[in-house]
Amino acid sequence: MKVLVTGAAGFIGMHTTLRLLARGDEVVGIDNLNDYYDVQLKRDRLKQLEPHAAFRFVQMDIADRSGMDRLFAEHRFNRVINLAAQPGVRYSLENPHAYVDSNLVGFVNVLEGCRHHGVEHLVFASSSSVYGANTKMPFSEEDAVDHPVSLYAASKKANELMAHTYSHLYALPTTGLRFFTVYGPWGRPDMSPSLFAGAMLAGRPIDVFNEGKMQRDFTYIDDIVEGVVRVLDKIPAGDPDFDTAQPSPATSYAPFRIYNIGNHEPVELMTFIETIEKAVGKQAVKNMLPMQPGDVHATYADIDALRAAVGFAPSTPLAVGIGKFVAWYKAYYGSRAA
């Protein structure tokens, strides 16, 4: 197939593209290479993709309406995976317009490209952050998610609503994937694994929010990619049993689905830190801080729907995934890591 991957120089985007290329797909990857974090890391990820003859990179922002029109018209993609977005909960408090431009305007451009150019299936990244103020655990796709606690979360909830509209109006098959705290080699430097490992290796203190009294459903990158690719191959159809009197948020009479992708095993933040300490071989100096605005106390994915749909559920143990991440971190950053 010919697949468009937006955000191809990103963490999940690079790994997903590698997996598609390995199975024989042709991939066009786009990314705006913005400076939200180290651009060199993004360029080094692209170096992992560029040797593949079936890969082509286009530097472009999905918010570029005319550029996206031309891209879709030229390539006639079979399927699209939208991973481009302005990430980060805390940064959304500082620069809300970046989230509107990328996550809302950009996503409309992706939807319009799919609509007008016969795309068979759009898979797009949502986020566990949509669960917001919910406290019922584990988080289920059947739960209402109407109380986001950050603009980032609100933008991801909006993506789900926008996608459903296009599934309803234009019969465009769309599937949203709610990722739960993804980690692994080539991960973002602003995420806790890189922040913690880098600080430990350098002997700097780490910031531990909410006194460490948080839980996250940490999910290893290989499991995320496996889920993305399996879902890409499962084009949704309308649910004939959909009840409009009691509508499920996760499915529809239209060709639309929402799935969680998480490890189904929430981990205490202090346990997570201890796991990194063991892999690094150094103990962290901890700077205990209060809860940050926009953060949630816990995430925990119900993955029954994903398992039933594609016969897969994430299962990489935290110690295994962190071991692989720390080995990559030391190899990539070298002397800079100490």
Please give the positions annotated as active site. Answer: 152
Positive/negative CA dihedral, 230, 231, 235, 241: positive
Quote the CA–CA distance of 171 and 46 in Å, as a whole number.
Answer: 34
Measured at the CA of 172, the angle between CA 171 and CA 174, to 5 degrees, comes to 125
Distances (CA, A) of 164 to 9, 123, 132, 175, 257: 27, 12, 20, 9, 9
What is the DSSP code (8-state) at residue 284? P
Q: Token pair of 86, please?
A: 């302005």
Alpha carbons within 13 angstroms on the beta-carbon side of residue 54 total 16
- CA distance linking residue 272 with residue 275, whole number of Å: 5
What's the CA gap between 215 and 44, in Å, rounded?
A: 31
